[in-house]
């Protein structure tokens, strides 16, 4: 790997410049005003893959386009499918960004921009590693496929449809995904489990117009009051969800897994201090890591009602709305959760209020077996690039499409996050440490070698149990 390492060193500056190019495109999938930028980002990725000598194409969908690319066949070698996404979260609140979200800026060894860690920077490591192979080696050591989508932040529906209809084009032995965080600075990790998600919007309509709160207070049901009461009733004080049957299908944590999680170095005080809070809260009887990775949660993601400007307005708002979501664990079913939620909310809805529950998206949780030879190959690649073996973790977040890969392709998913927990994914001042970016490229290049060595036989042995 010496020539390759030298190549990676020599091209650091240009790799960073390429990342900046992609970060400058405001490809916000949730914003209908960004459709041209979404297309520009898709084209950028397709062009970049094409320049590697891969057969790359933009696939039109009913939503944002997909990019698919594949390398020339390599006999008797396994097939890895790289997944990533070129779309990003909305950048608001804008006034909290130190530098503008779509004008990347390097400060203290990190690059700051929306999408730096989630997922443009991490996705790019697997593209640039192929460049290094092309430049320094005779041929790729395995069959590589790329599927890059533009709707990860809004539910991946186009890719899910493609997977249903053309899943054979994505057939592979393992799926490689870098869209998460290491366990901590200097401590890489392989993530073997993800929580699922069920995301909702609750809209309450009261009187047909805003009313003067003096003239009408005490007579009509105030939708904002009703909203707080209904949302508050969804959990108890420590966050345990009160929807009847919500916990029925939850797989309890095994003693073995709890022991392994407890062995991970984790400083609770430091964790809270970094977030700027004196402490937190959560389900009694579980550690912070268990609550974070392997227990369901309920979080309100947005509230809106009435007057939100400066000063005071004495109004009973005509309507009130909330966005909120549950994180799910094996084997909770989002559709069953939706049914239970709707029935529970209807039972709580007071007279004089019309209630609408919008189901935004849902995806079950997934867990991969640690016995997988692909996971072991990834561990060797990571150790070579980061100088330290990875720890094995679960992740509180959701990558809904991972669950679909897991179930449809019967392939192991390798979740190799190059980011850090404090990268501000989904928040102002998102960043990616440049040292992690370059180590990610190195680990990716090494991963192709390790996977190539496994040959074609490994897959059958590693079929994961359904989760």
**How far is the C-alpha of 126 from the C-alpha of 86, rounded, in Å?**
13
Q: Which of 3, 51, 139, 212 forms a contact with a second copy (CB under 8 A)? A: 212
Q: Does 51 bind a second copy (CB under 8 A)?
A: no
**How far is the C-alpha of 431 from the C-alpha of 429, rounded, in Å?**
6
For residues 445 and 4, the answer to whether their CB atoms sit within 8 Å is: yes
Helix (H, G, I), strand (E, B) or coil at 33: helix
Q: What is the largest CA-CA distance in the chain?
A: 81
Phi, psi (deg, nearest 5) at residue 389: -70, 150
Helix (H, G, I), strand (E, B) or coil at 286: coil
**Which one of the spans 203-211, 242-250, 408-416, 459-467 is the region binding a second copy (CB under 8 A)?**
203-211
- Measured at the alpha carbon of residue 366, what is the angle toward residues 361 and 370, in degrees to the nearest 5? 160
For residues 146 and 54, the answer to whether their CB atoms sit within 8 Å is: yes
Q: What is the nearest approach in angstroms of a second copy to the Cβ of residue 339?
A: 20
Q: What mask of x and - would describe binding to a second copy in positions 10 to 49, judged by CB under 8 A? A: -------------------xxxx-----------------
**Which one of the spans 35-43, 139-147, 225-233, 244-252 is the region binding a second copy (CB under 8 A)?**
225-233
**Which one of the spans 1-9, 132-140, 161-169, 322-330 is the region binding a second copy (CB under 8 A)?**
322-330
Q: Which residues in the 145-174 window bind a second copy by CB under 8 A?
A: 153-155
Q: Which residues in the 281-320 window bind a second copy by CB under 8 A?
A: 281-283, 288, 291-292, 295-318, 320
The alpha carbon dihedral of 286, 287, 292, 294 has a sign of: negative
Q: Does 443 bind a second copy (CB under 8 A)?
A: no
Q: Does 235 bind a second copy (CB under 8 A)?
A: yes
Q: Of 324 and 448, which CB lies nearer to a second copy in the complex structure?
A: 324
**How far is the C-alpha of 241 from the C-alpha of 455, rounded, in Å?**
47
For residues 129 and 416, the answer to whether their CB atoms sit within 8 Å is: no
Q: Does 109 bind a second copy (CB under 8 A)?
A: no
Q: What is the nearest approach in angstroms of a second copy to the Cβ of residue 398?
A: 5
Q: What is the nearest approach in angstroms of a second copy to the Cβ of residue 130?
A: 29
Q: Does 213 bind a second copy (CB under 8 A)?
A: yes
Nearest CA among 461, 370, 456 for reference residue 415: 370
Q: Does 215 bind a second copy (CB under 8 A)?
A: yes
Tokens representing 300 are: 């309100």
Q: Does 389 bind a second copy (CB under 8 A)?
A: no
Q: Which residues in the 350-379 window bind a second copy by CB under 8 A?
A: 350-353, 360-361
Q: What is the DSSP letter of 373?
A: H
């Amino acid at each position: 790997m010496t020539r390759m390492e030298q190549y990676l060193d020599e091209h650091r500056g240009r790799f960073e410049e390429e990342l900046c190019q992609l970060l400058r495109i405001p490809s916000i999938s949730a914003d209908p005003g960004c459709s041209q930028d979404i297309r520009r980002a898709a084209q950028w990725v397709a062009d970049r893959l094409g320049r590697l000598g891969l057969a790359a194409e933009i696939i039109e969908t009913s939503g944002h386009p997909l990019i698919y690319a594949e390398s020339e066949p390599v006999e008797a070698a396994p097939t890895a499918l790289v997944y990533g996404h070129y779309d990003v979260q909305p950048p608001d609140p804008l006034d909290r960004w130190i530098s503008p979200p779509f004008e990347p800026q390097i400060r203290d060894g990190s690059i700051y921009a929306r999408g730096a860690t989630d997922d443009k920077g991490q996705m790019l490591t697997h593209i640039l590693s192929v460049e290094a192979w092309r430049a320094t080696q005779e041929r790729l050591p395995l069959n590589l496929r790329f599927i890059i989508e533009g709707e990860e932040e809004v539910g991946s529906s186009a890719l899910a449809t493609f997977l249903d209809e053309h899943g054979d084009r994505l057939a592979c032995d393992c799926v490689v995904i870098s869209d998460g965080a290491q366990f901590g600075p200097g401590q890489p990790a392989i993530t073997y489990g993800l929580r699922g998600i069920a995301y909702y919007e609750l809209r309450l309509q009261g009187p047909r117009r805003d009313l003067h709160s003096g003239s009408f207070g005490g007579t009509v049901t105030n939708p904002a009051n009703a909203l707080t009461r209904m949302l508050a009733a969804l959990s108890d004080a420590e966050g345990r969800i009160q929807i009847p049957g919500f916990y029925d299908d939850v797989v309890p944590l095994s003693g073995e897994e709890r022991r392994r999680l407890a062995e991970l170095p984790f400083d609770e005080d430091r964790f809270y201090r970094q977030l700027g809070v004196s402490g937190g809260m959560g389900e009694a009887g579980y550690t912070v890591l268990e609550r974070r990775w392997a227990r369901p949660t309920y979080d309100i993601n947005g509230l809106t009602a009435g007057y939100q400007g400066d000063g005071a307005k004495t109004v009973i708002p005509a309507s009130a709305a909330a966005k909120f979501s549950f994180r799910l664990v094996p084997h909770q079913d989002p559709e069953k959760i939706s049914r239970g939620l709707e029935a529970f909310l209807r039972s709580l809805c007071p007279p004089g209020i019309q209630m609408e529950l919008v189901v935004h998206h849902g995806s079950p949780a997934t867990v991969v077996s640690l016995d997988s030879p692909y996971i072991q190959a990834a561990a060797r690649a990571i150790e070579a690039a980061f100088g330290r073996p990875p720890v094995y973790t679960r992740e509180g977040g959701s990558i809904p499409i991972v669950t679909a890969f897991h179930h449809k392709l019967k392939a192991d998913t390798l979740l190799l996050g190059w980011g850090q927990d404090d990268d501000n994914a989904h928040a102002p001042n998102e960043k990616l440490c440049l040292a992690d970016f370059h180590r990610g490229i190195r680990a990716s290049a090494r991963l192709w070698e390790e996977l190539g060595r496994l040959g074609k036989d490994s897959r059958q042995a590693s079929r994961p149990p359904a989760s």
